[in-house]
Structure 1
């Protein structure tokens, strides 16, 4: 029988607090892969006395669970968001745009963190100590909280783009390159929220031979 999967906990943050690295933030982003919409980055400083129950990698939670936790996190923690729009992604590339957004989210926190725990293996220029943790959104409570807030925020934004640009189905596929999205691109063409540096979008913009 497989071992039960561990849920994110506050142990990384408690170790940082014990070492005098206060406050400690968790940072994560959502939206690197889609063909449309921004990358949304979030930084969160959790209150050690009010760590929300049920935190997990946002991808492992239902939409209802994410919405509930979003409200709890925003009510009990220090939260900052930043957005890298398609224009920045197309100008600077997806990696640089993502790191920029993570740095902006961290800089927007009410208190400057002494340590930032970041999901993945790439560190943004946050101006303080930082630690990359692969799979951090499934291990570290603060990173999991950041992933949830970023995911809910981006989903809500893409739903609003679905209303503003009917026919693309943004509210369902969130900008990812699904069959529905590809069919809509074939019928409607590219809109200003698409990432023109991404190959499937760039191909749609080339003149027919």
Structure 2
């Protein structure tokens, strides 16, 4: 897939996610909290029964970008978590910034997007995992936007059980500012490997 097509696909995904993230944690009209919890449990049970598992422990990967605010990305799975670290992150934007990572696993034929979005005007943020290949949709995760969000680095951890994949999963990181993709890592838009 050409870089232009990848970028167009990423923009479309981000537009979809922006519209979905606004309603992800809200109860539908007439839906009780218990019904929402039961629906989420059914989704998680279906994924578990499918035999598709989250990322295995002990995987590592990194890439080099060509934008000072996405100069490199390091990923590591430890226990039940995916750790993400980006040096010299973008600290402000007119509206929002989103760091996202697209995972593609050939073994399970699954694509998953992990994202960290911060809206500066309101101070709101969302951390999400979106299953691009299945019916589990988007899951949002509570917790801080990042364990460290300073001029030196952006680092965070998110449960990796929702990221379906195996050793050798391919990934690309994106930086979007005010809804526009401005950088990828690796810089050429090709995939890095988590192994």
Bigger radius of gyration: 1
Question: Larger helix proportion, structure 1 or 2?
Answer: 1
Q: TM-score, normalised by structure 1?
A: 0.23
Q: TM-score, normalised by structure 2?
A: 0.24
Question: Larger strand proportion, structure 1 or 2?
Answer: 2
